[in-house]
A = this chain, B = another copy of it.
Amino acid sequence: MVDKRKAVVEDDDDDEELRTGQGAKKQAQAALGFRKKLKSDAVILASVKKFSETAKDVRQETRTLADLNLPHACKEVVDLNTSSVVLEIERSILSIAKSILAGNGFGYSVPARSSVNQLYVPELDRIVLKDKASFRQFANISSVRKTAITTRILQLVHQLCTKQIHVTKRDLFYTDVKLFQEQGQSDTILDDVSCMLGCTRSSLNVVASEKGVVVGRLVFIEDGDRIDCTKMGVGGKAIPPNIDKVQGMESDALFILLVEKDAAFMRLAEDRFYNRFPCVIITAKGQPDVATRLFLKRMKTDLKLPVLGLVDSDPYGLKILSVYMSGSKNMSYDSSNLTTPDIKWLGVRPSDLDKYKIPEQCRLPMTDQDMKTGKDMLEEDFIKKDKNWYKELELMVKTKEKAEIQALSSFGFQYLSEVYLPLKLQERDWI
């Protein structure tokens, strides 16, 4: 509608940006070309179904630490129900009482969580803790404070589990500010306690605040309420902070679509993408939070569905996938409960930029920080173990180009849901 030629005549400075008529035409042609490649939905669905079933077989061989013959004794925590946690705590306190009565004072054996005690296990594709532990003696000036805080946290957690209520770390801190002084102190010891008891932090009923949302072919029971995620409008259902209130997951989906950002989530939810291609769509709106990671893991385990990841084509998007898949380093003791190892990288992959003819101006140059992160990631086990992933990242670093999921909007607002994703599914184009 803009008369661009006229503008060029009158204002030479701006002609570069305004003479886009030709580019826009090319772009429209490219979009049309991809649209024509699309087969009928029935054909695409058949292709996905096959994949979905293969994924079901592979998943039988999920291995645990115990299955492996590792040179180190390793430690991982498990999900415990509240009565088991209560029992564990009472057992600890009882043994302390005995020790005191025997005239030996008391202390706690606390697993070390520092990086020297961490180990990447390729067979499991995640980070676990080695068995180093330190004894935290009460009758010692250097450890008396920590021992007191540990005991207090045990008492508070006992109370939470008995009452069956959930609180945030911040709430926990405020119950005894005089003792804890700073939230960092109660947080650290809380993690120690979960290692000590051998259970996850969410088993302690201390939860993270939620920010994820889910929509699509999923039904579950949350605290007694039946949630049907196909009937959650366009905003979706907020993922609950306490995963143990979630039960009875059911789904007729063929896959789970894990989306980095909420703009893409919104597009897919509004277009009811899951009605055309049965799936569950989930996003943590950026950096994955614990609640969303637990929810994804639970879906994967209960529903036995493959997970396809849709993230920006930049080192940060890859980092986000790695957190979902291998866990973050400071919670490595909890990695088996938080990680979903076999996520397929659907897109937007560095090779997609040329393959899908993403226009030059929608690609962004990588910053120095991006380049550094990208190069560092090339050294990580997580990337190195998969040739295809490595190649893609190598390409990104070589071309020094990145692109957001939104870059697909340059072909039209609904290009993501109507062309790009269906085509990806049709060609099973993920690695």
Q: Which residues of A contact B (CB under 8 A)?
A: 1-2, 4, 6-7, 10-11, 13-14, 17-18, 20, 23-24, 93, 138-139, 141, 144-145, 148, 151-152, 154-155, 159-160, 163, 165-168, 170-179, 181, 207, 209-211, 213, 222-227, 231-242, 245-246, 262-263, 266-267, 270-271, 285, 359, 361-362, 404, 406-410, 412-414
Q: How far is the CA of A398 from the CA of B18 in the complex (A)?
A: 58
Task: List the 3 closest pairs (A to B, CB-CB), nearest first.
Answer: A222-B233, A235-B240, A174-B409
Which listed residue (B227, B240, B410, B413) contacts A177, Cβ 8 A?
A: B410
Contact of A179 among B18, B163, B412, B414 (CB under 8 A): B18
On chain B, the residues within 8 Å of A167 by CB distance are 263, 267, 409, 413
Most chain B CB inside 10 Å of its own CB: which residue of A138, A246, A285? A138
Q: Give Cα A170–Cα B406 distance, bound, in whole angstroms.
A: 7
CA distance A23 to B175 in the complex (A): 12
Note all chain B residues with C-beta closer than 8 A to A410.
Answer: 174-177
Cα distance, A209 to B262, chains bound together (Å): 7
Bound complex: CA A231 to CA B237 (Å): 11
Contact partner of A10 (CB less than 8 A), chosen from B93, B139, B151, B262, is B139
In the complex where A148-B7, A179-B20, A233-B223 touch, is A174 in contact with B404 (Cβ < 8 A)?
yes
Residues of B within 8 A of A1 (CB): 93, 151-152, 154-155
Known A-B contacts A1-B154, A235-B210, A235-B240; A145 and B225 likewise in contact (beta carbons under 8 Å): no
| Chain B: minimal CB distance from A309 (Å) | 20
Is the pair A241, B235 in contact by a Cβ cutoff of 8 Å?
Answer: yes
Q: Per a CB cutoff under 8 Å, which of B175, B225, B262, B404 touches A233?
A: B225
Interfacial chain B residues near A6, Cβ < 8 Å: 138
* Contact call B263/A178, Cβ cutoff below 8 A: no
Do the beta carbons of B225 and A245 come within 8 Å of each other?
Answer: no
A176 touches B245 (CB 8 A): no
Q: When A1-B93, A225-B231, A234-B240 are in contact, do A178 and B361 touch as well, CB less than 8 Å?
A: yes
A-B contact pairs, 20 of them (CB 8 A): A7-B138, A7-B148, A11-B144, A13-B141, A18-B145, A23-B178, A159-B413, A160-B413, A170-B406, A171-B263, A175-B412, A210-B235, A213-B238, A223-B233, A223-B234, A226-B231, A227-B232, A234-B245, A235-B241, A237-B238
Copies of the protein in its oligomer: 2
Flag if B209 contacts A266 (CB, 8 Å).
yes
**A190: min CB distance to chain B, Å:** 14
**Given A1-B152, A155-B1: A176 in contact with B20 (beta carbons within 8 A):** yes
Q: Which of B11, B170, B172, B359 contacts A141 (CB 8 A)?
A: B11
- Is B266 in contact with A207, judged by CB distance below 8 angstroms? yes
Bound complex: CA of A101 vs CA of B141, how far in Å? 90
A152 contacts which chain B residues (CB < 8 A)? 1-2
* A238 contacts across to B, CB distance below 8 A: 213, 232, 235-238
B207 & A235 in contact (Cβ 8 Å cutoff): no
Contacts of A231 in B (CB 8 A): 225-227
In the assembled complex, the CB of A390 is this many whole angstroms from the nearest CB of chain B, namely 29
Closest partner residue, chain B, to A20 (CB atom)? B178
Q: Which residues of chain B come closer than 8 Å to A266, judged between CB atoms?
A: 166, 168, 207, 209, 241
Most B-side CB within 10 Å, residue of A172, A179, A234, A271 = A234
Q: Is the CB of B263 within 8 A of A170?
A: yes
A42 to chain B, nearest CB (A): 25
Please judge, given known A-B contacts A166-B266, A207-B266, A263-B209, whether A10 and B234 are in contact too, CB under 8 Å: no
Q: Is the CB of B10 within 8 A of A270?
A: no
CB pair A222–B245 under 8 Å, yes or no, is no
Q: How far is the CA of A159 from the CA of B414 in the complex (A)?
A: 12
Docked complex Cα distance between A13 and B224 (Å) = 50
How many angstroms between the C-alpha atoms of A14 and B140 in the bound complex?
12
